[in-house]
Amino acid sequence: LAKTTQPISMDSYEGQEVNITCSHNNIATNDYITWYQQFPSQGPRFIIQGYKTKVTNEVASLFIPADRKSSTLSLPRVSLSDTAVYYCLVGDGGGGFKTIFGAGTRLFVKA
Amino acid sequence: EAGVAQSPRYKIIEKRQSVAFWCNPISGHATLYWYQQILGQGPKLLIQFQNNGVVDDSQLPKDRFSAERLKGVDSTLKIQPAKLEDSAVYLCASSSPGTDNKLFFGSGTQLSVL
């Protein structure tokens, strides 16, 4: 099973760009990289998913180098409402037992 | 589109009592998951259903936990008897190949065992 490693916590200020890096050294050939966001008292919410290179949507960008052993979630111009826990998952894109949630990265955005 | 519905939102029980949680997934989602999330940790998968069949329940403590999805739609997770260490948020999620297998989570049931 592919294990992921993320920073435990990060601090930022409003308006800054935040980059959260996730390491997944034993990622399998058919694994996707998926990021979820979780606010207190809510279930996680899908942010973005990618396989290689760069993926961008209205919320974030995901950068994946050629060796796919790491990935970086980029949040442009964060606001106070982006304060949350961010999880990096590696697996087939679904929630099966081959996809494991780690402890996530607690992002705290300050005014 | 309605999201994943869970009830109750909160539950407080004493140890050795029983408790049940209910989940109604997004319409048309064949896959349903139950997760346990202990404070400060990421969600841990307990069981996965595909329609009304169990795909994998290897991490479900079967001596006290049970789950069913009889008609392939709603699901119930039960704990009997509860232990102090069962205090956690129980999250239900569903997914569909039609949405790239993304997980859609409910808001969870927060269980406190005293």
The number of C-alpha atoms within 13 Å of B97 and in the hemisphere containing its C-beta is: 2
Q: How far is A7 from chain B (nearest CA, A)?
A: 14
Confidence of residue B16 (pLDDT cuts 50, 70, 90): very high
Confidence of residue A28 (pLDDT cuts 50, 70, 90): confident
| C-beta atoms of B93 and A95 within 8 A | yes
CA-based max dimension of chain B: 42
Q: How far is B80 from chain A (nearest CA, A)?
A: 24
- pLDDT of amino acid A97: 59
**Which of A30, A47, A87, A101 has the most B C-beta neighbours within 10 Å, making it the best mutation to test the interface with B?**
A101
Please state, in angstroms and rounded to a whole number, the distance separating the CA atoms of residues A100 and A93: 11
How much is the average pLDDT of B44-60?
91
Please state, in angstroms and rounded to a whole number, the distance separating the CA atoms of residues B83 and A79: 40
With an 8 Å Cβ cutoff, is B102 touching chain A?
yes
What's phi and psi for A95, nearest 5 deg? -110, 25
- pLDDT of amino acid B60: 94
Q: Which residue has the higher pLDDT, A99 or A14?
A: A14
% of chain B residues with pLDDT over 90: 80
pLDDT, one tens digit per residue, over B70-84 is 888 999 999 999 999
Q: Which residue has the higher pLDDT, A100 or B17?
A: B17
- pLDDT of amino acid B112: 98
Q: Nearest by CB to A95, from B41, B95, B110: name it.
A: B95
Q: Is B48 helix (H, G, I), strand (E, B) or coil?
A: strand
How much is the average pLDDT of B91-100?
84
Confidence of residue B49 (pLDDT cuts 50, 70, 90): very high
| C-beta atoms of A42 and B4 within 8 A | no
Please state, in angstroms and rounded to a whole number, the distance separating the CA atoms of residues B32 and B77: 12
Cross-sheet strand order for the sheet of A70-75: A18-23, A70-75, A61-64, A53-56
Beta strands in B1-114 (DSSP E): 5-7, 10-13, 19-24, 31-37, 44-50, 53-56, 65-68, 75-79, 88-95, 104-105, 109-113
- pLDDT of amino acid A3: 83
How much is the average pLDDT of A30-41?
92
Is residue B106 a contact partner of residue B57, using CB atoms and an 8 Å limit? no
Q: Nearest by CB to B103, from A46, A100, A103: name it.
A: A46
What's phi and psi for B42, nearest 5 deg? -80, 165
pLDDT, one tens digit per residue, over A46-105 is 999 999 999 999 999 999 999 999 999 999 999 999 999 999 998 876 666 567 788 899
Contact map slice: B 79-98 vs A, CB within 8 A = 91, 93, 95
| C-beta atoms of A101 and B43 within 8 A | yes
The number of C-alpha atoms within 13 Å of B33 and in the hemisphere containing its C-beta is: 27
Q: Which residue has the higher pLDDT, B33 or A3?
A: B33
